[in-house]
Chain A
Amino acid sequence: MKGDPIYEVRDVKKVYHDRCVLDVEHLDIHRGEILALVGPSGAGKSTLLRLLNFLEPLTSGQIRFLDAEFDASHPVPLDLRRRVTTVFQRPVLLNGSVFANVRYGLRLRGQRDSAKRVEAALQRVGLNELARQRARTLSGGEAQRVSLARTMVLQPDVLLLDEPTANLDPYNVGLIEGIVRSLNQEQGTTLVLVTHNVFQARRLAHRVALLLEGKVVEVDDVHSFFESPRDPRVAAFARGEMVY
């Protein structure tokens, strides 16, 4: 499933109020893979996702994305930024219908005639019958599926998932994992998944990276990461001994 690097992260640092929260020397993310970012709270996983989505400027270092290089003084052009999108842990839906929420990203891109694409995305997450319902009346699982649909409809090259199934029931976790997996397998979308759930990382990911205190400790294919880790901290994490 691994292809050429779609991201090359080099010496990237992110500093908030004189505190370095992320310091990644080297991380490649390959086209078409599912990379799971694991680690305790405050390890810098969500910060890394925001940088990969170009939502915040780097403090230093470079990110090479789709053969173009960006650093603190070279912001990412809009057309490239729009090839990445994020599903956050808590879906923030607009005050409108489910349909309008899924159509939102397309309207941002000036695509008015998009009803069929919206309907197809809703069909894919099993919410086509709720298209006219107000989005804020949905359950947590349904809301997260709307959140997923509104990113899928954009057909991004890279989908970033920030703990998308946290606080969801097993049924919705299964649904969302199934959708995410098919998105990767059928459309070749590159996925970067932040998760606290070791089992989810095992189920979904091709490769896994452990972050601790803002640094990438180890990144390896899923089998090696869990079965023969090089770093003792990874072994502790795999055994579930790491305190979050």
Chain B
Amino acid sequence: MWAAGDRALSGVSFRDAAFVVVSGGCAIDEMLRGLIQAVQLVLKRDPALFEIVALSLRVSGAALLFSTLVGIPLGALLGLSRFAGRKLIVALLYTGMGLPPVVVGLFVYLLLSRSGPLGQLHWPIIPSLFTPGAMVAAQSIISFPLVAGFTMAAVMGVDPQLRQQAQALGATPWQAIWTVLAEARVGVIVSIVAGFGSIISEVGAVMLVGGNIEHRTRMLTTAIVLETRQGRFDLAIALSIILLGMSFLANVAMLYLQGRTFDE
């Protein structure tokens, strides 16, 4: 639970949540209190906070893994080859890069609802609404076009003669493709960072398909919305700072990987 009883992240619904307006003069104080509280929450290893952070990382991590596993090969394929229908796929991908998360949430909601085309199948592989699985599905759809699109752009930016040069030096077709991807690694890492950034900070889709249920589907972003709507700005700011810190650490890790070259 949170440090003080009245600070607990309760299961108050949005309908019941009171809106509190912060006066302009208090905003800086709220932010400072939020910063202090963020440090306190982390130092005290607050179990409720860690539960939310863990779920956020689990959901966004799984979604990023799925979108990376599909997006990087698709981006590489689109960047390296020309085939019938490629332009259509690229156009769809670009459209997907600008998809509003809440629209994705609505789409996934309708698909997974009991009367939806996927929800009525009752297959074990299809997640139910208001579960982490549903949130992973929504976030995967949001981040996948970004990962694929940026990977494609990065691969297309590599010297087109490199693949032939690699093969002339004895590379198998797969080794040549890997060489091109390795040369495009900065762009590929940017694609992963962009994909991660798009989902770790996303709220609309997870709110719709997850429902912000305490101990089950509450994530950092949905908790921030809840605390803000309940007027607990310092707590909301504390959660925001933790979210920013996570995002910063993830980007630092990516930059570290980017600094390591292919074969040095």
Contact = CB atoms under 8 A, between A and B. Distances in A.
B261 A95 contact: yes
Nearest to B186: A95
A97 interface: yes
Contacts of A65: none
A95 B183 contact: yes
Interface stretch (B62-70, B82-90, B145-153, B169-177): B169-177
B161 A90 contact: yes
A94 B167 contact: no
Interface string A95-138: 11100100111011100000000000000000000000000000
A195 B169 CA distance: 21
B169 A104 contact: yes
A108 B171 CA distance: 6
B162 interface: yes
Output the residue of B164, B168, B263, B264 with the most chain A CB within 10 A. B168
A86 B162 CA distance: 12
Contact of B170 (A100, A103, A105, A160): A105
Output the residue of A81, A86, A100, A108 with the most chain B CB within 10 A. A108
Given A53-B168, A108-B170, A154-B169, A100 B162 contact: no
B201 interface: no
Contacts of A103: 263
Contacts, number: 60
B169 A151 contact: yes
Interface string B163-192: 011111111100100010011000000000
A88 B263 contact: no
B169 A85 contact: yes
Nearest to B169: A105
Interface residues of A, number: 26
B123 to A, nearest CB: 42
Output the residue of A94, A103, A107 with the most chain B CB within 10 A. A94
A88 B161 contact: yes
Interface string B118-131: 00000000000000
Contacts of A100: 261-264
B168 A96 contact: no
A10 interface: no
Contacts of A104: 166, 169, 263
A55 B165 CA distance: 9
A109 B161 contact: no
Interface residues of B, number: 20
A85 B170 contact: yes
A213 to B, nearest CB: 24
A243 interface: no
Interface string A43-79: 0000000100101000000000000000000000010
Interface string A149-168: 01100100000100000000
B6 interface: no
Nearest to B183: A95
Contacts of A50: 164
A154 B168 contact: no
A92 interface: yes
A181 interface: no
B172 A55 contact: no
B159 interface: yes
Contacts of A196: none
A30 interface: no
9 nearest A-B residue pairs (beta carbon): A86-B168, A82-B170, A105-B169, A92-B165, A92-B161, A100-B263, A92-B162, A108-B170, A92-B159
Interface of B: 159, 161-162, 164-172, 175, 179, 182-183, 261-264
Interface of A: 50, 53, 55, 78, 81-82, 85-86, 88, 90, 92, 94-97, 100, 103-105, 107-109, 150-151, 154, 160
20 contacts: A53-B168, A78-B172, A82-B170, A86-B165, A88-B165, A88-B168, A94-B179, A95-B262, A96-B261, A96-B263, A100-B263, A103-B263, A104-B169, A104-B263, A105-B170, A108-B169, A108-B170, A108-B171, A109-B170, A150-B169
